[in-house]
Structure 1
Amino acid sequence: MDILLLSNGKIAGNTHVMEFAGDVIVEQVKRTGAKHFLVIPYAVIRSSHDDRVAMIQATFDRLGLDCVATGIHQAADPVKAIEQAEGIIVSGGNTWVLNKKLHDLGLVGPLRKAVLAKGVPYIGWSAGTNIACPTIRTTNDMPIVTSAVLTSLNFVPFQINPHYLEASVEGHMGETRDERIQEFLEVNQHEPVMGIPEGTWLQLLDGQLSYHTANGKPLKLFRYGEEPVYFEAEQDIQFMMEISC
């Protein structure tokens, strides 16, 4: 496995998507030799799929990578496109729309086979990170589609909350992000949630899980009946791959 799960697409000062994780993306490309990346932009709602592919191509160019980005939405046979992909990138957007589309097109199995069995490198951010969990129940997105499907790719055995924000907004009387996650744990007591803030990512390489950050922010791990625990980038989080939900 060679998986990068980014919290988000951009941080302050970035002009290109995934730029804050540019070094690790370059390392992944060099390590795997992947040149042709299949982009899955189904989560994109407020702009075109073609524009999102072009944004990713611009990032490759910015990083000096001789890589080509192609959108799965342009493929006559999406399953075959996954089978032939040298690398896979799943864009952020609306997780519910993305996950439903993957199930509707029968792409969950092919994606799991490509990434888990064949070792095809995978990069996801936001929605693309949410779908790497067993389910998408810890997304921040609204379920704007009907017949929404919860189960997803299950690359990691725990839930992730991308864009995690530890804050109380003045004048806002609704629940904080922490309170929403605690609600999840009350109902799903054996399913820990990892909150990863903006500018951070998880790397899963050959079964080894590690946390990385471009801005020094720690991840926050939530487990039922316990106080949340912070983990810095240099700390060991491999135990999260051994949990059983």
Structure 2
Amino acid sequence: MDILLLSNGKIAGNNHVMEFASEAIIEQIQRTKAKNLVLIPYAVIRSSHDDRVALVQQTFDHLGLDCKVTGLHRSEDPVKTIQEADGILVSGGNTWVLNKTLHDLGLIGPIRKAVLDNGVPYIGWSAGTNIGCPTIRTTNDMPIITGAILPSLNLVPFQINPHYLEASVEGHFGETRDERIQEFLEVNKHEPVVGIPEGTWLHILDGKLSYHTANEKPLKLFSHGKEPVYYGAGDDIQFLMEHSC
């Protein structure tokens, strides 16, 4: 498997989506020789799916990669398109809409087979990272649709909170992000949550997990009954791949 799970799409100073992880993306694409990339844009709500495809194509052009990005929403046979793709990209947006659409179209199994069995490279950011978890219960998004579905791709055996923000807002008396994650752990005691802040990503290559950052921000690991633990780039976090939910 060759999986990049980005916290978000852009950081300050970036003009292109995923640009902060450009070295990792270039290395992945060159190693796998992927040319035909399929973008899954179903999470996008406030702009068109075609516009998102164009933005992502601009990124690959900017990075000097000879890849063609096509939108899965344009496919007459989405399952076949996933089966024939050299690489799978999953845009950020609303995780609930994305996950339900994948289930409705019968794409969970084909994506898992492509990524886990056939070694097709996967790049997701924000919602595209959330669906890499066993479930989408640690997304920050509102369930804006009815009939929402929780189980997802289960590419990694732990939960992720993208866009993780360790902050308290003056005058705001609602729960902080840390408190929301602690609530999750009170109900789901055996499921650790990995908070990855803006400008960071996880890479899973042949079962080996590593953490990377474009801005020196650490990963924050939450486990029930324990104080959160910080990990930086280069720290050993392989034990998370051995976790069983």
For the criterion TM > 0.5, the same-fold answer is yes
For 1:91, the equivalent position in structure 2 comes to: 91
Mapping 1:137-176, distance limit 5 Å: 137-176=137-176
Following the alignment from structure 2 to structure 1, what is the Cα–Cα distance between the partners of residues 70 and 32? 18
User: How far 1:25 sits from its partner (Å)?
Assistant: 0.3
Mapping 1:194-213, distance limit 5 Å: 194-213=194-213
Q: Structure 2 counterpart of 1:152, which letter?
A: S
CA deviations over 1:94-138 (Å, ceiling 9, x no partner) = 000000000000000000000000000000000000000000000
For 2:118, the equivalent position in structure 1 comes to: 118
Q: Structure 2 counterpart of 1:235, which letter?
A: D
For 2:179, the equivalent position in structure 1 comes to: 179
SS in structure 2 at match of 1:202:
strand
CA deviations over 1:120-161 (Å, ceiling 9, x no partner) = 000000000000000000000000000000000000000000
User: How far 1:32 sits from its partner (Å)?
Assistant: 0.1
Q: Structure 1 counterpart of 2:99, which letter?
A: N
Following the alignment from structure 1 to structure 2, what is the Cα–Cα distance between the partners of residues 220 and 132? 18
For 1:133, the equivalent position in structure 2 comes to: 133
SS in structure 1 at match of 2:132:
coil
For 1:6, the equivalent position in structure 2 comes to: 6
1:19 aligns with 2:6: no
User: How far 1:244 sits from its partner (Å)?
Assistant: 1.2
CA deviations over 1:199-235 (Å, ceiling 9, x no partner) = 0000000000000000000000000000000000010
Aligned residues: 245
Q: Structure 2 counterpart of 1:130, which letter?
A: N
For 2:28, the equivalent position in structure 1 comes to: 28
Following the alignment from structure 2 to structure 1, what is the Cα–Cα distance between the partners of residues 225 and 100? 32
Indicate the RMSD between aligned Cα atoms, in angstroms: 0.3
SS in structure 1 at match of 2:88:
strand
Following the alignment from structure 1 to structure 2, what is the Cα–Cα distance between the partners of residues 209 and 154? 15
User: How far 1:171 sits from its partner (Å)?
Assistant: 1.1
Following the alignment from structure 1 to structure 2, what is the Cα–Cα distance between the partners of residues 54 and 171? 40
For 1:222, the equivalent position in structure 2 comes to: 222
TM-score by length of 2: 1.00
TM-score by length of 1: 1.00
1:77 aligns with 2:77: yes
Q: Structure 1 counterpart of 2:170, which letter?
A: E
SS in structure 2 at match of 1:240:
helix
SS in structure 1 at match of 2:10:
coil
SS in structure 2 at match of 1:37:
strand
Following the alignment from structure 1 to structure 2, what is the Cα–Cα distance between the partners of residues 156 and 32? 20
SS in structure 1 at match of 2:211:
strand
